[in-house]
Structure 1
Amino acid sequence: MSETIELTFENVPETLFEKPIQTITLHAKPEKIFTSEDGDAIYIAGESISETIRRIKPPTALFFIFERVRIGTIEIKKPLIRILLLEKENELNLIFNDNDIAGDSEKSTIQQLAIATKQLAFENNIEIYYCGLEPANDTNTQFFSNSKTGIGGPS
């Protein structure tokens, strides 16, 4: 049976969304961008993610769909990337199926993802992150976070 996994970065300043997204998407353009309010596509050709974020006023959610993303050695196919723009705190989420994640070493994919996520967070000054079965904020089903290792997860 397939499980939905969520990777969350909390308290991301608006100005810092562009770099981690470009890193994990390998600078690819999204297949689709839409908002939570109307579900309409809002992408303007040639516009950066930062420009889209500045154009949309909080509170809102932006959803990006990419063919694939890479976090360190982990490749994730067809993830949904969600940006929650709130009044004071913003969140970046990757939501994907456990069948759509693959690593390239003897370590489990979740171990590789934990290592790569820690590095990505460090490089982008993001202090709070966690990953687990959706919803990932449920500490009983978290695989890892910035402060602990959780239940493990699929290999």
Structure 2
Amino acid sequence: MSDLFEVVFENIVKNNVIQLLMLLISKAGRIINVQCSEDIRLIVEGSLDAKALDSVLNFNGSVTVFINVTDMTFGSIILPNVLLRLVKYDEKYDIDFNFDSNEMKNTDMMNLVTDLHYHAKEIAKGHDVGALFGGLEPASDEDTRYFTNNDLGVLSQEV
């Protein structure tokens, strides 16, 4: 089984996508790499350009943006080596991130799950997120979830 933990904000209202992504990035360490599935320039003068992200949201078709960061503070947790992903398909927008839970030193898994769930719910409240869930990647598989929206998932019983 994968040790990658994934948190997904699904079906975000378009007007809140960039704000949510920039909030997550503002809590990150150094951006290591940014890649886009389409030829859209997202780095301007060494920084991720929020205005360029509009091109992603308005792209005619599906597009994915990958952003690797050295770490990311999520509530009271510092997550190591995070991969953020923005996915646009049809007129739907998802943001997810994952990290290797094995890279976290001296971390109690139950506390990690509880903190991730709490902070994900807080972020979702302020950004018109249709659904949120977290678990082992792929968290889209309900059998590998620690939480879905306000509810604990199957794996939370095993922690």
After TM superposition, is the score higher than 0.5?
A: yes
Query: What's the CA shift string for 1:86-118, capped at 9, x where partnerless?
Result: 221111010111123479899611111111111
TM-score (norm 2): 0.80
Query: How many correspondences in the alignment?
Result: 154
User: Per residue, is there more strand in 1 or in 2?
Assistant: 2
1:32 corresponding residue in structure 2: 33
State the shift of 1:143 in Å.
0.4
1:139 corresponding residue in structure 2: 142
Cα contact 1:77–1:101 (8 A) shared by 2: yes
User: Partner amino acid for 1:127?
Assistant: G
Structure 1: gaps spanning 5 or more residues: none
1:64 corresponding residue in structure 2: 67
User: Per residue, is there more helix in 1 or in 2?
Assistant: 2
User: 1:46–1:91: structure 2 CA closer, same or farther, 3 Å change rule?
Assistant: same
User: 1:62–1:88: structure 2 CA closer, same or farther, 3 Å change rule?
Assistant: same
2:88 pairs, out of 85, 90, 96, with: 85
Cα contact 1:7–1:131 (8 A) shared by 2: yes
Query: What's the CA shift string for 1:14-56, capped at 9, x where partnerless?
Result: 3312332333333556221101357x97422266553222223
Q: Which moved more, 1:6-15 or 1:114-123?
A: 6-15
1:15 corresponding residue in structure 2: 15
Secondary structure of 2:31 counterpart: coil
In 1: Cα distance, 2:105 partner to 2:2 partner: 14
TM-score (norm 1): 0.81
User: 1:47–1:98: structure 2 CA closer, same or farther, 3 Å change rule?
Assistant: closer
Cα contact 2:21–2:95 (8 A) shared by 1: no
2:156 corresponding residue in structure 1: 152
User: Partner amino acid for 1:25?
Assistant: I
User: 1:55–1:37: structure 2 CA closer, same or farther, 3 Å change rule?
Assistant: closer
Which consecutive aligned stretches of 4+ in structure 1 deviate over 6 angstroms post-superposition?
102-106
1:55 corresponding residue in structure 2: 55
CA RMSD of aligned residues (A): 3.0
In 2: Cα distance, 1:13 partner to 1:49 partner: 20
User: Partner amino acid for 2:21?
Assistant: I
